[in-house]
Amino acid sequence: MAPSAPSIASNMSSRAITPRPSSYRYKSEKRGMTYNIMLVGQSGLGRRTFLNTLCEREVIPPTEAPNPDTANVADPMKFDTYEVNLEEEGTRINLKVIDAAGFGDGLDNTSCFKQLQDYIEAQFDEVLVEESRIKRNRRYRDHRLHVLIYFIAPTGHSLRELDVELIRRLGEYVNIIPVIGRADSLTVDELATFKQNVMRDIDFYKLPVYNFCWDESDSDALKENREIMDFIPFSVVTCDEVIDNEYGSVRVRRYPWGTIEIDDESQCDFVLLRYILLNSHIADLINYTEDVLYENYRTKKLEVGGFAEGEDEEEDDEAGDESHAASTKKQE
Amino acid sequence: MTAPEVQDYVGFDTITQQMERKFLKRGFNLNVILVGESGMGKSTLVNSIFSTHLVDSQGRRTAQEVIRKTTEILPVTQTLDENGVRVRLTIIDTPGFGDQCNNEGCWVQVIKYIKDQHAAYLERELKPQRDRIINDTRVHACLYFLNPGSRGLRPLDVEVLKRLTEVTNVIPVIAKSDSMTLDERTLFKRRVKEEMSFHRISVYPYSSEDDDDEDRMLNASIRELVPFAVVGSEETIDVDDKPVRGRRHGWGVINIFDETHCDFVHLRNFMLRTHLSDLVEVTAQRHYEQFRTSQLRQIKELRAQQAAAAAAGGGGGSGSSQPPVGPLPHQPMAQV
């Protein structure tokens, strides 16, 4: 059984945005933190409504009814980008969300993984190039992906091939946080069993999901992070409508047999996930991306590219421009 | 000229009871195939419809179980008895269907199975010495499970439904519809119907000239509901000391028999109480006949070719003796 949510959230809210020993946060507080999130999952799992609920506004309007003739033609996967400015407990966040629309929706989805990998690598390559410039752009906007939210279908069984492959292939490039979309189709017991099964699969296949406990130096946070890991995958239900009751405005989904309150932590993990993403762990996620994932990529790339230490800067620039052109092409 | 009125009671109206007695003695076969990705609620739904634990879910629940790479066909037969009426119920599960990254061709085994049953029946029918009553393994109904939350039909659904509706009676359902609000359901049903009409996918029930007004009305009301948004459950929950077959969520209890909650009652009545014999009949008269016609045509053409070849090669001799019935063009697989 998962530990009771409220204690975690209330502990965390009392910490507010703990100034972690990172000057990054202090500097960016004025400008607004650059934060890039990608949403991946088959259609129908609530990715778009998740974003709207997360940002507490309609970022992605509901899609137009598709023509009947497009039903059997799966759109190739595309990356729809949305930019939102948020303010969370005094911190400004320049949020960029990339929705990988079309993932897993076709008959043959094996090319999706390479596309995603190419996209993520392209963002790394841009930074690589930018870092090596003789004259760097002070206003450079970092597009590296800080977290990938992966939506799992609420089957109640275990992970599917698509899920395993995605996490396996992309875990070394981006922090992956698995969530269960449409979690309101599972009862409390089913949800607990499903989470257990998914975690067992993650252990068994050694899937590289984001490890909240990566920073072992901070022992206070470690205990909390271990508790957070017990919630994975986070159950997500997204808001359909807002109603007014005696407590004020409440975000709900209304069924004939009852109404689920999105913000009620005993009913789903949305509030906890949001807090983790936009408050308590935003620095961790960014730091891990920059200090570990990017660095690993950079090392690999430079070794393979045959660049010895202290290469000619002009040569670097040329090669950089080539890879930049290639990466811009990939992004299209 | 009106039919002459029968003056004394003759008694031929008892034929219905005579037929019933024969039928009761014989029992009947009902074969239902379940097609849908794992985790769609197939096993739970079919167990709920028949109020018996007929099939076990084939979903992968432990990490050690291997992820299936192909579609398997798993028939399970049980005999149910209700008030003296015996049904030999075969539920065919299709674990692995639609579960891979690449689902191209995942329907091949399913279509093959259905055609094999038609072929097996035809073969027995064509035998010089055939059984008085041929064991009917033909698939009478296919429950096709749609994914709740999708916009409508997915590419996989379109491909598979096109093929399935040509060989069997297809009943589309949304088994885990408890994550859809009523508005979402209405929208989804409308989209699915539009898309099916566009792609000329005709699901059961079909209209026929034999239909009278009552049949037409009933079929129209069924078509309104398609795809059936149902919820399955094998559990009974206590609600105010009353047993309820349903699911308990943190925010309410779903009663699967409550028509305001889901279409379960309608689906069950449709399948078992109003259209059961029609499902069997239509399988025989429409799908089987189509198969039979195309098979026999192929045999005829084959014979004509052989005869032409013999006449051309052998010369002279009148091809008087008909060649024996060769193997059917569609090879049935080993008897299930």
Where does the pLDDT of residue A36 fall: very low under 50, low under 70, confident under 90, or very high at 90 and above? very high
Q: Which residues contact A211 (CB under 8 A, 6 or more apart)?
A: A229
Higher pLDDT, B318 or A166: A166
Give the range among A207-216, A319-328, B286-295 with minimum mean pLDDT: A319-328
Q: Which of B67, B100, B149 sits opposite A45 (nearest CB)?
A: B149
Question: Under an 8 A CB cutoff, do A73 and B154 touch?
Answer: no
Contact B255, B85 (CB under 8 A): no
| Closest chain B residue to A159, measured at CA | B60
- Judging contacts by C-beta atoms under 8 Å, the chain B residues touching residue A65 are 151, 191
pLDDT score for B314: 62
- Judging contacts by C-beta atoms under 8 Å, the chain B residues touching residue A161 are 67, 99-101
Quick: pLDDT tens for A91-102: 899 999 999 999
Q: How many CB atoms lie within 10 A of CB B8?
A: 5
CA distances, A111 to each of A80, A152, A215, A332 (Å) = 18, 19, 34, 16
Contact A315, A306 (CB under 8 A): no
Mean pLDDT of B229-244: 90
| Closest chain B residue to A108, measured at CA | B102
Mean pLDDT of A141-155: 94
pLDDT score for A71: 64
Q: How many CB atoms lie within 10 A of CB B229?
A: 27
Cα A87 from Cα A32, distance rounded (Å): 9
Cα A293 from Cα A127, distance rounded (Å): 13
Mean pLDDT of B27-55: 93
Where does the pLDDT of residue A186 fall: very low under 50, low under 70, confident under 90, or very high at 90 and above? very high
Alpha helices, DSSP H only, in chain A? 5-15, 23-31, 47-55, 111-132, 161-170, 188-204, 219-229, 270-275, 282-288, 295-304, 313-331
Provide long-range contacts, Cβ within 8 A and 24+ apart, for B331-335. Answer: B331/B119, B332/B116, B332/B117, B332/B119, B332/B120, B332/B123, B333/B112, B333/B113, B333/B116, B335/B120
User: Could you tell me the residue ranges of all domains in chain B?
Assistant: 17-56+68-301
pLDDT score for A9: 46
Q: How many domains does chain A have?
A: 1
Say what percent of chain A tops pLDDT 90: 56
Mean pLDDT of A205-211: 95
Tell me if A44 is assigned to some domain.
yes
Range of the domain at A159: 31-61+73-303
Contact A43, A252 (CB under 8 A): no
Tell me if A14 is assigned to some domain.
no
Tell me if A125 is assigned to some domain.
yes
The three-state secondary structure class of A62 is: coil
Strands A91-101 and B85-93: unpaired
Cα B51 from Cα B229, distance rounded (Å): 18
pLDDT score of B167 more than 70: yes
pLDDT score for A138: 75
pLDDT score of A78 more than 80: yes
Tell me if A290 is assigned to some domain.
yes
Question: Under an 8 A CB cutoff, do A197 and B182 touch?
Answer: no
Burial of B320 (0-12, 13-18, 19+ CB in 10 A): exposed
Residue A80 identity (one-letter amino acid) = D
Is the model's pTM score more than 0.80? yes
CATH code 3.40.50.300 for B17-56+68-301: yes
Tell me if A174 is assigned to some domain.
yes
Question: Under an 8 A CB cutoff, do B102 and A108 touch?
Answer: yes
Cα B283 from Cα B30, distance rounded (Å): 11
> Can you tell me which residue has the tokens 């059936």?
B228
pLDDT score for B229: 95
Sequence length of chain B is 336
Transcribe A107-121 into DSSP letters: SB-THHHHHHHHHHH
Where does the pLDDT of residue A320 fall: very low under 50, low under 70, confident under 90, or very high at 90 and above? very low
Give per-residue burial for A118-150: e unless 16+ CB within 10 Å, then b: ebbbbbbbbbbbeebeeeeeeeeebbbbbbbbb
Give per-residue burial for A304-321: e unless 16+ CB within 10 Å, then b: eeeeeeeeeeeebeebbe
The three-state secondary structure class of B234 is: coil
- Contact residues, A window 128-187, toward B, CB-based 8 Å cutoff: 153-158, 160-162, 164-165, 181-182, 184-185, 187
Taking the CA atoms of residue A249, residue A279, residue A44 and residue A68 in that order, the dihedral angle to the nearest 10 degrees is 80
Domain of residue A277, CATH code: 3.40.50.300
- Checking ipTM against 0.90, whether it exceeds it is no
pLDDT score for A27: 56
Tell me if A5 is assigned to some domain.
no
Longest dimension (CA), chain A: 69
- Contact residues, A window 268-327, toward B, CB-based 8 Å cutoff: none
Question: Under an 8 A CB cutoff, do B159 and A72 touch?
Answer: yes
Mean pLDDT of A269-296: 94
Between CA B48 and CA A292, with CA A2 as vertex, the angle to 5 degrees is: 120
